[in-house]
A and B are shown apart, each in its own frame.
Chain A
Amino acid sequence: MNRFNLLPVLFVALILGLWELFVRILAVPVFILPPPSCILTVALVRAPQILPHAAITLTEILLGIGLALCTAIPLAIIMFARPSLEKAFAPFLVASQAIPVFALAPLLVVWLGYGIASKVFMAWIIIFFPICISLLEGFKSCDKEYRVLFRLMGAPFFKTLILLYWPWALPRFFAGLKLGVTVATIGAVIGEWVGAQQGLGFLMIQSNARLQVDLVFAAILWLTAMGLALWWLVGVLEKKIIKWK
């Protein structure tokens, strides 16, 4: 591990160490703020209880990502091919991000029910925007000289898209996807807070009501791990696909 990889590890260790010391020295009750060692113990010991909930949340997130990919990619292509449509769609896209997801969550539960659909939809709302916009900007960033070359070769739009625009936009697409998968947890958990029978959000609400703050933190820890794992997986996929970078 080099110096640059070690720095964030040391920084996190320092924060956790100070937290542990603060709680121990001031004898803060566990139901107010548990020490990190206690949170880690609960996260591991009660994993059999937490993991089924985590699996539900992960499913919601993955379905949200899948749905976002299926909708954001075609829309980005359409907006790129027809700039007039970009102008028409842009206000709706921006509005979808301007509305707080907390405000939408109760409505989605009413419309889509307490099941998985409302949470998937919440995750979709959050992931869709960064993927769509980053891909669109990636397409637009293509050098004019390359566009000219393809035009002179007589390439139709779809072939230019496949051979030039898509690979060109991939680094930006992955940047958007990384951002999307990291924040996707927010959408799913908010959906679970508003109305659910299972999932990490549901577990947090339940534990909080019973003053099991250590379990709330353990759920947050698992959620963070999930977000980091997704971010890492996208990074691995990016390296596998964008070999020329």
Chain B
Amino acid sequence: MLKVSCVTKYFKDQKIFSNLDLTVDRGRFHVIVGPSGCGKSTLFDGLTGVTPLDGGSISWNHESLLNLRYHAAYMQQKDMLLPWFSLLNNALLPAKTSGQDMKKAKKQAQSLFSRLGLKGYESHYARQVSGGMRQRCALVRTLMFNRELILLDEPLSALDAITRRSLQSLLLLLQTEFGKTILMITHDIEEALVLADEIYLFSKKPMSLSRHYVLDSPKPRKFNDPILLNIKADVLDKLEGDLMNEQV
């Protein structure tokens, strides 16, 4: 279980968030939604140790940690594929950098390539394939971290709507087939509703939890589910209300 308690972050004198709590049970898919610039990515930076937090505690499976650097795989908005490596070699980067058995890692990567629809593209370079395929490769690379906890920072936001829909089912595979525990940031409310077991809706300045939804309906879900549509309306109401208050 991931437990984030009372985490606080300041930039100079500006409070980004304080006393923020989050809990993600093992094998669950939790999604963070919030307006642009509210501090969601800063929270991930703090969790992964990219920037230090100013307070609070983090624990993973009851082990208290300074950050999740060595315990979580991280996938960002951009695919971050290196242009000088083939797709397969990009996917093998976590294995190369952490000194894993390369023969075993290559076998694992090839099997993931098949599973995620990249078979036959192993020797292609990032510039030779579509944005959706690059993001699939980034997903394989994320799985190659071989870590149970996965942090996803708007992983599909750079893609067109159709590609995004097809990749959402792959994100779901991370939970259903690979048994990962996932914490994802997204701007896309529909995406959150389709994928999440729980949604955290954050408000802006300083970032704080304004709504928490638990979604019990089975996956895969359809957008036109009345319960989901109700939650979507509530989320949009809340976001629009925050925006109006900000403008006033």
B144's nearest neighbour on chain A, judged by CB, is A153
Chain A residues, CB < 8 A from B94 = 153
Whether the Cβ atoms of A167 and B69 lie closer than 8 Å is no
Whether the Cβ atoms of A167 and B97 lie closer than 8 Å is no
Minimal beta-carbon separation of B154 from chain A (angstroms):
13
Whether the Cβ atoms of A244 and B50 lie closer than 8 Å is no
> Which of A145, A146, A154 sits near B98, CB closer than 8 Å?
A154
Whether the Cβ atoms of B69 and A151 lie closer than 8 Å is yes
Question: In the complex the two chains form, what is the Cα distance from A148 to B45 in whole Å?
Answer: 9
Q: Mark A157-170, 1 if CB is under 8 A from B, else 0.
A: 00110011001000
A21 within 8 A of B: no
Chain A residues, CB < 8 A from B70 = 154
Q: Mark B108-145, 1 if CB is under 8 A from A, else 0.
A: 00000000000000000101000000000000000001
Whether the Cβ atoms of B84 and A244 lie closer than 8 Å is yes
Whether the Cβ atoms of B76 and A151 lie closer than 8 Å is no
Whether the Cβ atoms of B69 and A149 lie closer than 8 Å is no
B232 within 8 A of A: no
For residues 46 through 74 of chain B, which have their beta carbon under 8 Å from a beta carbon of chain A? 48-50, 69-70, 72-74
A152 within 8 A of B: yes
B80 within 8 A of A: yes
Q: Mark A87-98, 1 if CB is under 8 A from B, else 0.
A: 000000000000
Chain B residues, CB < 8 A from A107 = none
Question: In the complex the two chains form, what is the Cα distance from A219 to B49 in whole Å?
Answer: 61
A145-B78, A148-B50 known; A155+B127 contact, CB < 8 A: no
Whether the Cβ atoms of B97 and A150 lie closer than 8 Å is yes
The 8 A-B pairs of least Cβ separation, nearest first, read A155-B97, A244-B83, A153-B97, A167-B84, A153-B94, A244-B84, A152-B74, A159-B97
User: Which A residues lie at the B interface, using CB under 8 A?
Assistant: 145-146, 148-156, 159-160, 163-164, 167, 242-244
User: Which B residues lie at the A interface, using CB under 8 A?
Assistant: 48-50, 69-70, 72-74, 76, 78, 80, 82-84, 93-94, 96-98, 125, 127, 145
**Sample (17) of A-B pairs whose CB atoms are under 8 Å apart:** A145-B76, A149-B80, A151-B69, A152-B50, A152-B72, A153-B93, A153-B145, A154-B97, A155-B98, A156-B97, A159-B96, A163-B82, A163-B93, A163-B96, A167-B84, A242-B84, A243-B84
Given pairs A146-B82, A167-B82, 4 additional interface contacts (CB within 8 A): A148-B74, A149-B80, A153-B97, A155-B97
